[in-house]
Chain A
Amino acid sequence: MKNKNRIKSISFLTGLFLLLYIASYLLIPYNNMGDSLYKKANGILKEPKNTIDYVAIGDSECSASISPMEVWNDYGYTGYNCGVPSQQLQDTYYLLERLLKNQHPKVVFLETNAFYRDFKYINTLETSIEETVKKIFPIYKYHDNWKYFHFYMLKALGHKIKQEQITVYKGYQYSAIVNPYKRGPYVTETDDVYVIDEQPLLYLNKIASLCRDKDIQLILYSAPSPKCWSYAKHNAAAAFANENQLTYIDLNLDIDTLGIDWAKDSRDDGDHLNYFGAKKVSDYMGNYLSEHADLTDHRKDDLFAGWNKELKNYLKLTEQN
């Protein structure tokens, strides 16, 4: 390549980097939400520092099964559901790592369905590159905020405008659709053990280690799901819990105690719970926390008045159904 072309290429790239850097600042949001699958999960990043007692994390089985507002209503514990549909464990790890910079929950509930979602080393490498690019050029992360772009944001460069936070019911994925599961009992005991693949296992260990280092109680749980759950998967999660001295709550083995009615409590033929099923699971988990974790009831604490305000909206939404 001739020198002239070299200079042209370098100049073009320099201009591009500058442009991306400037454009990044136009799209960095003030409420950190964005209309996205991560909208709910990322909401935790804007919660006031160290105000969350417990976190639920995992894929859609998680986001559809625990409603923190139910737990708040009954027990006054502050929680956040950081479940993201189709999440791989590496993403779970990165999200957990990010949220733990601002929060110090006593308990993390990790839903197990993502254990069995394989991904390869190459996916890990891709994620690492993406995380790096997001740090260098925030436009890559926040590009979708063009939907909410206003020209006053230009004026706001340098001093943040406070925007009203969007209500996300602390990450819970609300759905009142009823689409029953009709294929009868699905728990058939076996000694088979599902093999958790190399990369998910690697990140599972990293999550366990992260919680250990931060002195957080990691609890594995499996949400009721005839479609996704199997006894072999139960055995795999139980073996991991056993090896790492973790508690494992498999709600699929406790359907009767929970009172799950598959004619009413699933939104999609036994894949995910709907609101009615999630209410039962949330009651169960709230009760578990009251019995096994040393959490404080914040309902009468003025610092948490916002939770009661959000509860009113939540009850309005759920009582309509």
Chain B
Amino acid sequence: MAYNSLLYLFIFLPAVLLAYQLAPKNFRYKVLLSASYIFFLSFSGKLLVYLLFSTLSIHHIGLWLTSCKKDFLSAAHAPENKKAEKAAYEAKRRRILWFGIGLQLSILMILKYSGFFFENFNLVLKAISFPRLLPAMKFALPIGISFYTLQAISYLIDVYYEKIEAVDNLGRLALYLAFFPTLLEGPICRYSQTAEALCQGKPLEYKNITYGLQRMIWGLFKKLVIADRLNLLVETIFDTPNHYGGIIVIAGAVLYTFQLYADFSGCIDMTIGTGEMFGVTIPENFRQPFFSKTASEFWRRWHITLGAWLKDYIFYPISLTKFVKNLGKKSRAKFGKHFGQIISSAVALFGVWILNGLWHGTGWNYIFFGMYYFVLILMGNLLEPAVERITSSLRIDRTNNLYRGFQTVKLLIIVFTGELFFRANNLTAGMNMFRSIFTGFHWSAVTDGSLLKLGLTLPDFIAVFFGFIAVYTVGVIHERGISIRERISGWNVFARWSFLYVAILLVIVLGAYGDGYLPAKLIYAGF
């Protein structure tokens, strides 16, 4: 029951909206929770037990952290012992937190990563002529585990740091973790962002429903017209990588990047649109990433909630460890302020990017992907003063359009290359494909019709091109801070309805679905 399926759009969602509206205010969050579990069951069946375990464990541990604090505050402390008792209390809370995080991570590690680690461990054993010791294990993954585990951890850490209070009502916490629009592909919400609105039980509003539907139509357009159509070509190239080289591989990397963006951001549009219908503001996950100028800016605009999670729960905590602080101090003393800062931040950045890569999947290509951005961002930071000096000595205006165009092209090459490895079947395939760009490069691939033998016909390319133009135009308008939906709502009813009818017809007619198309999965749901 993907967000773009008829079952979701015409049966499930309307039924949930109706049940929600008919339910008494205090019961509405229970309607959403039940719907979320039905949604989960439709994909993962009995694997619901893992989600329930995560919910119950963070609920209990959150309350444990709170009661620990209450106990400490209510106890009488002799002045001479107060410091020691406070240290013991803080250590206890830390242990509780680590226990909670450990529980969440251990489920994720066992289900998602154990097979990968055991396989590689066996390879090492084999290399040193040991018999294979570890069994090859593969577990069924519940949907959204990579997303809801991060939400669960953020909840525990936020309770620990007293940014939020531990929630007593189990149902409300369960809904925060399992809200059905965010289950498949996120975004990774914080408890403080969505929980209150989810449980408020606000009645449905006409404006919210129309705005939500408009956002969903836009998401469907991106998913069905661009992503699923490009899927035909992308699968052909990446599933038989040895058959292609040069321009075909470049086209594969470029078009996969756009497919991924259209797929993921389209799904997020549907998620946000669904949330909007219930009066819940789900955080944005994209902000025109291809308008970025540097790799680090790109990642502040692409999968924003993952980046923010890694920044808050990995980067800062690592940066604040004694080891990194001392390293920073020593490095600054030895290499100067700039290099000193770079060296200390490199440790935290490494943690962020290795986890970013691993979060996406269990292949060496994902680790390579993370390390690729680690090196690029680190180099960007490292070389920034040199670039500044060179451009100013050459009197190059870094704000002019030509320089910005150069930056955009540079960024696009970086992103396309990264996505080539990200999509490749494995790291070796990625390396071979990258090499084949140079060894198999022939301009004739553009003129001899090779591009039209990869699963897409000329009309397909025209439809995709039309989709690009639409996405680009909307991006430019959003970049200028204009709300398209607000503008449309100001039009007269004839213009407004005509626009919506055309939009719906375009999705239905130009969408790559139904007979003749293998159902294209939601890409990020696989992570």
**Interface residue? A2 (CB, 8 A):** yes
**Interface residue? B7 (CB, 8 A):** yes
Q: Which of A37, A86, A120, A147 contacts B457 (CB 8 A)?
A: A147
Please, how many angstroms separate the alpha-carbon atoms of A38 and B515 in the complex? 6
**Interface residue? B403 (CB, 8 A):** no
Contact in complex: A38, B516 (CB < 8 Å): yes
Query: What residues on A are CB-neighbors of B7 within 8 Å?
Result: 122, 125-126, 129
Please, how many angstroms separate the alpha-carbon atoms of A145 and B510 in the complex? 9
Contact in complex: B5, A126 (CB < 8 Å): yes
**Interface residue? B509 (CB, 8 A):** yes
**Interface residue? A310 (CB, 8 A):** no
Q: Please, which residue of chain A has its CB at the minimum distance from the CB of B500?
A: A12
Please, how many angstroms separate the alpha-carbon atoms of A23 and B457 in the complex? 23
Which residues of chain A from 255 to 309 have any CB-CB distance to chain B below 8 Å in the complex?
A: none
Q: Which of A5, A37, A125, A126 contacts B517 (CB 8 A)?
A: A37
Distance (whole angstroms) from the CB of A46 to the closest CB of chain B: 15
Interface of A is mostly: helix
Please, how many angstroms separate the alpha-carbon atoms of A215 and B365 in the complex? 54
Contact in complex: A2, B206 (CB < 8 Å): yes
Query: What residues on A are CB-neighbors of B131 within 8 Å?
Result: none
Distance (whole angstroms) from the CB of B60 to the closest CB of chain A: 32
Contact with B along A99-118 (1 / 0, CB 8 A): 00000000000000000000
Which residues of chain A from 184 to 203 have any CB-CB distance to chain B below 8 Å in the complex?
A: none
Contact in complex: B517, A140 (CB < 8 Å): no
Place the interface of chain B in its size category. 20 to 34
Q: Please, which residue of chain A has its CB at the minimum distance from the CB of B460?
A: A147
Place the interface of chain A in its size category. 35 or more
**Interface residue? A19 (CB, 8 A):** yes
Distance (whole angstroms) from the CB of B51 to the closest CB of chain A: 17
Please, how many angstroms separate the alpha-carbon atoms of A47 and B512 in the complex? 27
Contact with B along A202-246 (1 / 0, CB 8 A): 000000000000000000000000000000000000000000000
Please, how many angstroms separate the alpha-carbon atoms of A143 and B501 in the complex? 16
Contact with B along A37-60 (1 / 0, CB 8 A): 111001000000000000000000
Contact in complex: B1, A126 (CB < 8 Å): yes
Query: What residues on A are CB-neighbors of B459 within 8 Å?
Result: 146-147
Please, how many angstroms separate the alpha-carbon atoms of A141 and B501 in the complex? 19
Contact in complex: A139, B508 (CB < 8 Å): yes
Contact in complex: A12, B516 (CB < 8 Å): no
Q: Please, which residue of chain A has its CB at the minimum distance from the CB of B205?
A: A1
Q: Which of B6, B204, B460, B493 contacts A130 (CB 8 A)?
A: B6
**Interface, chain B (partner A; CB < 8 A):** 1, 5-7, 10-11, 42-43, 45, 204, 206, 457, 459-460, 493, 497, 500-501, 504-505, 508-512, 514-518
Q: List 9 A-B residue pairs with CB atoms under 8 Å apart, sorted by A's residue number.
A: A15-B497, A16-B501, A35-B457, A36-B516, A37-B517, A42-B515, A139-B508, A143-B514, A144-B515
Closest 5 CB pairs of A and B: A36-B516, A147-B459, A38-B515, A5-B206, A122-B42
